[in-house]
Amino acid sequence: MKSFVMATAMVALIAMPAHAQMGGKRHQSDDKKTDAQKPKVDEKAYKAALDKIPEPKEKYDPWGVARPPDAVKKPK
């Protein structure tokens, strides 16, 4: 009887980490609630907002701070 209890305890201890990785089913209802709360995307409003952004007058140079100012003015 003692060996049966020990074997059952060992199987239970081995199965616990595997059960923790499965995620469980009680959290699935939370995912459904967050889907309903997401706002709907309005394509027309998105495109209108993009059209309101002004075009830059000069091209942006991301490395402009790293280079000395003479390198930009004097091309070789």
pLDDT, tens digit (0-9, with 9 covering 90-100), for 67-76: 776 755 655 5
Burial of 60 (0-12, 13-18, 19+ CB in 10 A): exposed
pLDDT beyond 70 at 39: yes
What is the pLDDT at residue 22? 65
Q: Which residue has better confidence, 8 or 26?
A: 8
Write down the number of H helices and E strands in the chain.
4, 0
| Angstrom distances, CA of residue 59 to CA of 29, 55, 71, 73 | 49, 10, 16, 14
Q: Is the entire prediction scored with pTM above 0.85?
A: no
Distance CA 76, CA 72 (A): 10
3-state secondary structure of 5: helix
Q: Work out the pLDDT band at 17, boundaries 50, 70, 90.
A: confident
